[in-house]
Amino acid sequence: MVRLSLLIGFLLLAPATFAQSDIFLQGGALHGRDSETWTYEAGFISKRSEHFGIGFAYLNEGHLPDNHRDGLAAQVWFIQPLGERFELQLGTGPYANMNNTTVNGERENRFRVGLLTSAALKWHPTGSPWYLRAQYSNAWVPGSFHSDAVLFGVGRDFANQEDANDKGKLGADFSFWGGSSRTTQIGTQNTAIAYQVEAKFHPKWSEHFAYSVSALSEGDTNLANRRGIPVQLWYDQPATDRFTFSVGIGPYLAYDGIDDRRWEVVGIGSLRVTFRLFSRYEAGVMYTRVASFYNRDQDIVMIGLLGHF
């Protein structure tokens, strides 16, 4: 696992010599714990060279009996074209997940880090950037169940175009986000209103990395009522001169007004897509998972407006 993490880090820091990326959405069937269920996955792959790339994805492993597991994965991909319309992709990497299950008669969200290994075949039936995708995945999670899945979906290739416009003298983005949140725990709850104000900074030494400091209110779902300050490290992948895919992860200093009424550090991870509207302004959609480590995880979906300064 340590060697794999070092390889992922090397690919992230290495300059891209093959300017292409793709995004995909797929769903299918999963087998685990001697049962079957549905599954779906959404993600993107940044190709760092002709044959290698780095990918990030959100995976939901459906509802097995007394188990509901999902999480975020980072994978190193080997890419091999098979003629003009087919492409083979083999990927593996760490899978940070939460499993909603029953332990000693109580419902818990159990955090684990496993390994997600995938083999995918892409097919461009018309020769356009759009493609069909078939994928097999294995999730190996120590201390939890292992699963096998077959997925089918669609995706699109993008030829990367680095933004030539001046993003602002401060090298910072300021954004406001609003949407809804739900606690990933069984019990009577409300769909809460969530909002976030964020400052995101782009260091001059990297085209893809950024870091952010935010003020986040998750809203009151009746099971959790958290607010606080997330700090995240981001990897940004431009797909065109207008579209950018991003993944962020980091610690979150939060106060829960329902659980013990105290401040504590939890985890946060986000997937984001932004679209340039004009000049220095963008609109975006963001999915965020808060990992509470005390059985009050949160799923948050928000839309936002972002400005470069």
Each residue of 3-60: pLDDT tens digit? 554 445 544 554 554 557 889 999 999 999 999 999 999 999 988 888 999 999 999 9
Q: What pLDDT is attached to residue 20?
A: 75
User: Taking the mean position of all CA atoms in its chain, how far away is CA 272?
Assistant: 8
Judged on CB neighbours under 10 Å (0-12, 13-18, 19+), 45 is buried
92 touches 8 (CB < 8 A): no
Q: What pLDDT is attached to residue 106?
A: 78
Distance CA 297, CA 184 (A): 5
Q: Specify the DSSP class assigned to residue 146.
A: -
Residues in a beta bridge with 175: 198, 306
Q: What pLDDT is attached to residue 19?
A: 55
Dihedrals phi, psi of 11, to nearest 5 degrees: -65, -35
Each residue of 216-242: pLDDT tens digit? 999 999 999 999 999 999 999 888 888
Distance CA 104, CA 142 (A): 19
pTM for this model (two decimals): 0.85
For residue 190 the two structure tokens come to 């409300």
CATH of domain 2-159: 2.40.160.20
Q: Is 274 helix (H, G, I), strand (E, B) or coil?
A: strand
Distance CA 289, CA 73 (A): 13
Measuring CA to CA, which residue among 87, 94, 103, 8 is closest to residue 59?
A: 94
Q: Does domain 172-308 have CATH number 3.40.50.880?
A: no
The domains of the chain are located at 2-159, 172-308
Q: Is 3 helix (H, G, I), strand (E, B) or coil?
A: helix
Q: What pLDDT is attached to residue 205?
A: 79
Residues in a beta bridge with 115: 94, 140
* Beta-carbon contacts of residue 149 (< 8 Å; ≥ 6 apart): 28, 29, 30, 31, 39, 61, 136, 137, 138, 139
What are the residue ranges in the chain where pLDDT is below 50? 2, 5-7, 10-11, 14, 17, 164, 166
Q: Specify the DSSP class assigned to residue 134.
A: E
